Each structure stands twice: as C-alpha cells, then as structure tokens.
Amino acid sequence: MSDLNKIPVTVITGFLGAGKTTLIRHLMQNPQGKRLAVVVNEFGTAGVDGDILKSCADENCPAENI
C-alpha cells in the first residue's frame, strides 16, 4: 500500500471526565487547515458527547458534519 492510500488516524480514549470531548471540540474549532472527521461511539442509554459536539457553534464545525 502506498503512502497516498494511507489515512492518518488518531484514537482518543480516556476515563470519564478526562477531557476527551473538550479536546475534540478544541480540535474542531481550530482545525489549522486540517480536514477532520469525528466518529462518536457511545454506549449506554444516555449518549451526550455527540450532542455536545454538534453544538460547538463554530463555522469550522457545522453540525451536519458530525
């Protein structure tokens, strides 16, 4: 596989309250010319991170892209 076919991926994990969502919101609001994609995998009956990320209210991260 050539380097042109590879897509860099960063996986963000951590304990509850560690700041994962805050970090992702910061990256989305300050993309610095990068194209970002976010996959939110929520378990449980009350998923909140997806809603928090959708409400980042910044022209650089429109809700339809989350």
pLDDT in tens, 19-48: 988 898 888 888 898 888 887 776 666 555
pLDDT at 57 over 80: no
Read off the amino acid at residue 45. T
> pTM, whole model, 2 decimals?
0.60
Question: What is the reported pLDDT for 18?
Answer: 92
The larger pLDDT score, comparing residue 58 to residue 2, is at: 2
**Radius of gyration (Cα) for the chain, nearest Å?**
13
Helices within 1-66 (DSSP H only): 20-29, 49-54
- Percent of the chain past pLDDT 90, that is, above it, reads 6
Structural domain total, the chain: 1
Note down the domain range covering 55.
1-66
Residue 19's alpha-carbon distances to 26, 50, 59, in angstroms, are: 11, 14, 22
3-state secondary structure at position 43: coil
